Amino acid sequence: MSHETAYFPGCSLKTIDRAYDVSTRLVAGDLGLNLVEVEDYACCGVGELKGEGLKSHYLPGRNLGHLLQQGQTEVMVSCNVCYHELSRTAYAWSRNESVGTEINRMLEAAGEPGITETPSVRNTLEYLVTVVGLDKIAQRVRRPLTGLRVAPYYGCLYHRPGAMVSSIQVAGEDPERPHFMHDVLRALGAAVVAHPAETTCCGGKNLLSDERTAGKLTGRILSQAKEAGADVLALMCPKCAGGLDALQPRAIKAAGEGARLPVVYYTQLVAVAFGHSPEAAYLKDMESGSFDVIRRLLQAAPKPALV
Amino acid sequence: MPKGAGIIERSLVQDDHILEHENLVMDGIDVSGRWNTMLKSRVHADRDLDAWDTVRQNLVATSIDNCIQCGMCTAGCTVAHEVEGFNPRQFIYWVRTGRTEELKNQADVVWRCVGCYICTHHCPKEVNTAEVIETIGQWLRTVVPERMDRAFHVNHQVYRNHLISRGRLNLPLLQTTFLRALGRQNELFAPEMKKTALKMVGDGRVLKTLRMGRPHRWRKNRQVLGSEA
């Protein structure tokens, strides 16, 4: 199957969180997805202009305009923040005509292409499950992650609010108790560890400005996942990774040693299960020791079958 | 006994609204003891509707008018369980009933919303609570900025300037600017920050960030995005 879709990586995946971008591309390539990047992207807005009303739709609107201008109506997004922002603007555009007109008026004033139809904003996780399919993912596995206990962590913006992030609902994902990451991890042969913090917030918005709250929230997620018996926490948002991976020492300070847990992007696990090396999946970019966990797992496992 | 200890839902009552009498005689009957605690009259005559006007006129927050005060937003709220006094249902109540003094007293609490959208997701009346709370926070920023933590102001300004002037996020620069503006530059040398920073210099991620550039024709975008109103 070769299937083309537009892809929006966003600022963070283009730079410091390249691990998520690279692993998304590896996985997409293996599954016959041809990703066409949205050209001349701008920041998705990261929600920082929400208090300014209409302005908060400017940056996502510009990106959607560029998507449509390059002749595509569907875009796959890995970063949860970008996914949420683009979905939110597509939703506002389609739901309220006067808002849609205002968004386009702003874009026109800046000489940018406007939004001409409702684009379909898809999350990579949902895309893998619904468009590619779990069977196909399972078939492509070369090195099952047998024995690895993974705690899935969705964060917030993948599935909330259900009405705005419409691709999730169309796909039949449960916005109360999402399970697509559970399903994908199972298809890889990993042991999925359920835990109470699968969809609780990491406090990433105020990671540095309200450290006390962020420390408590990240500390709780990590310790609950670990308590449930996880070897690694799999996540899907670079903002969550900031608090759970790079600044994990602060979570440990807030919640104690129980919060020490290796963290990976779920796409990295898919890439490794598909036969890519931990280096190629950029596991070394993660700060919480996940590279060593995966390397040990691979050393213990038999060599992958030849492709 | 702490003040007002006998009050159920004590967290909803402010300290200075509680009247505790040593000995209280009413109509000749001594009601000291369990019954000596009274609340100040809550008759509210001077409604200040400035906040309501501002919030409901903001495109992202017009849904505030749908609120039926059921409290679903607050029951599931991430921050309500972490930060004392954080209560979205109550913030909306204060805005709509013109109790802006109460709201201003909590100015340093309102902005601590983490934007997780549990409230919006659970609202049975389609109030976009998360964005309503964000809008209330921005209103407070214009009226009582001095009552809010500097970290909030600096975070807002740094992000806004960065987005408008560059159009893309240079995250290491953003973080550095934020910490320096707050006088917290020492944190840049904290072990967890330093480790990541050095690694990113070594593996080329910093170079990649420096080369990210701006979107095309950004100057015109900047004018539109940065304009007032």
What digits encode the pLDDT tens for the residues A193-203?
999 999 999 99
Write down the pLDDT at residue A1. Answer: 58
Write down the pLDDT at residue B35. Answer: 80
Same domain, B54 and B142: yes
Question: Which fold, A134-300?
Answer: Rossmann fold (3.40.50)
- A161 CB neighbours in chain B (<8 A) are 117, 120-121, 128, 130
Q: Is the pLDDT of residue B44 over 90?
A: no
For chain B, what is the mean pLDDT?
93
Choose among A99, A109, A201: nearest Cβ to B59: A99
Q: How many domains does chain B have?
A: 3
- Listed residues B25, B43, B61: the one ending a domain: B43
Q: Does B221 touch chain A (CB under 8 A)?
A: yes
Helix (H) or strand (E) holding B213: none
Task: Give the mean model confidence (pLDDT) for residues A95-111.
Answer: 95
Residue A246: both structure tokens together: 């790079």
- By C-alpha distance, the chain B residue nearest A164 is B121
Least confident range from A69-78, A164-173, B84-93: namely A164-173
At residue A169 the predicted structure's pLDDT band, cuts being 50, 70 and 90, is confident
- A178 CB neighbours in chain B (<8 A) are none
Same domain, B220 and B156: yes
At residue A304 the predicted structure's pLDDT band, cuts being 50, 70 and 90, is low
Q: A14 vs B208: CB contact, 8 Å cut-off?
A: yes
Residue A74's φ and ψ, nearest 5 degrees, are -125, 135
Q: Is the pLDDT of residue B229 over 60?
A: no
Same domain, B142 and B154: no
Same domain, B179 and B219: yes
The domain of B216 spans: 150-226
Same domain, B110 and B154: no
Same domain, B134 and B169: no
- A216 CB neighbours in chain B (<8 A) are 82
Write down the pLDDT at residue B6. Answer: 82
Same domain, B64 and B128: yes
- By C-alpha distance, the chain A residue nearest B170 is A11
Same domain, B38 and B59: no
Q: Does B194 touch chain A (CB under 8 A)?
A: no
Q: B221 vs A112: CB contact, 8 Å cut-off?
A: yes
Q: B169 vs A99: CB contact, 8 Å cut-off?
A: no
Write down the pLDDT at residue B45. Answer: 82
Same domain, B63 and B26: no
Task: Give the mean model confidence (pLDDT) for residues B53-67.
Answer: 95
Same domain, B205 and B155: yes
CATH class of the domain defined by A3-123? mainly alpha
- Range(s) of chain A covered by CATH 3.40.50.11810: 134-300
B137 vs B40 pLDDT, higher one: B137
Same domain, B135 and B57: yes
Same domain, B128 and B204: no
Percentage, residues of chain A above pLDDT 90: 93
Q: Does B97 touch chain A (CB under 8 A)?
A: no
Write down the pLDDT at residue B119. Answer: 97
Of A46-50, A101-105, A162-166, highest mean pLDDT: A101-105
